[in-house]
Amino acid sequence: MKIVILDGSAANPGDISWGRLEELGEVIAYDYTAKEELIERMQGAECAITNKTVFDSEVFDRLPDLKYIGVLATGYNVIDLQAARDHGVTVTNVPEYATFATAQMTMALLLELTNLVGLHTASVMEGEWCRSRQFCYFKAPLTELAGKTFHIIGLGKIGRRVARIASSFGMTVTATPHDKSLIGTVADENGTSIRCLDLEEGIKNADVISLHCPLTDETREIINTKTLAGFKRGALLINCARGPVVDEKAIREALDSGLLGGYGTDVVCVEPMLGTNPLLGAPNCVITPHIAWTPVETRIRLIDAAADNLEAFLNGNPINKVN
């Protein structure tokens, strides 16, 4: 089997191995594939491994040998699933591989907003501590998390993991779950009590709101001018879900006005980020370039899972099939 990895440098810039996939066939790995390069590179190949390279209906029409697409991610919106079905192409994804890493990044963004580590490190490196008469100084007030309320929007595996960490900081955890039948109940995550509330009730008393919902028609721009108006003034917002679950223009306006005390995000609406993005230069805003999933251990787990998916397909028993 000819296996073409189309945008491999995102998951593997050269620091880990494609070995598990290489055991299953002839692997050709490209760092990045532009739209106009896709058809030529996939000629004669039965298997594509992709992260963000788009497979639309036109692509399927032009690739008669294609039998399998393995998505190196949990999300698979880059694939036209109906066209894949029509052409008999199996599509798989890798669910839950980045639960721990994404929860970790969520707290990293929060702690940067509350403890201002980057700001103070830059100050020290510029010699400000050396010039200080006092043994310590702070450039802006820090925030203690114990006793505050942490509200999670989306209570899947990642949301529940984040709940446990927030609880260990001494925070009260509430959530708006995707499953509306849970609203009004108290969920339990290994001893962590999570009171489930509707969105309006959940955000109004929260000191921190953290997004962990999938991107759907229902959740697109779930944080907008109207919902921001229901926030406690000075609340912090964290987004390790998807960029379009917030209205970025509304976020910028809320940061500028002080309604929103800070925004920490690993994702934006258009990636790579556009130079016109309203969050560029925003006050109290921490942005990382979609790296929550990229710890070495997490990427090794991802590639191993993708190999498991392909091996199962070759054995006639596909797993993690999304179409």
Where in the sequence numbering do the catalytic residues fall? 242, 271, 290
Q: Which two tokens stand for residue 71?
A: 């998505």
Domain 99-287: assigned CATH number: 3.40.50.720
pTM comes to 0.94
Boundaries of CATH 3.40.50.720 in the chain? 2-97+296-314, 99-287
Phi, then psi, of 13 in degrees rounded to 5: -75, 10
Nearest residue to 100 via CA among 235, 262, 296, 310:
296
Cα separation, 294 vs 299, in Å, equals: 6
> Cα dist. 266→16, 93, 136, 148, 293 in Å?
23, 21, 31, 23, 10
Question: What does the CA dihedral 200, 190, 243, 274 come to, rounded to 10 degrees?
Answer: 140
Per-residue pLDDT of the chain (323 residues; tens, 9 = 90+): 999 999 999 999 999 999 999 999 999 999 999 999 999 999 999 999 999 999 999 999 999 999 999 999 998 999 999 999 999 999 999 999 999 999 999 999 999 999 999 999 999 999 999 999 999 999 999 999 999 999 999 999 999 999 999 999 999 999 999 999 999 999 988 889 999 999 999 999 999 999 999 999 999 999 999 999 999 999 999 999 999 999 999 999 999 999 999 999 999 999 999 999 999 999 999 999 999 999 999 999 999 999 999 999 999 999 999 99
Superfamily in which the 2-97+296-314 domain is placed by CATH:
NAD(P)-binding Rossmann-like Domain (3.40.50.720)
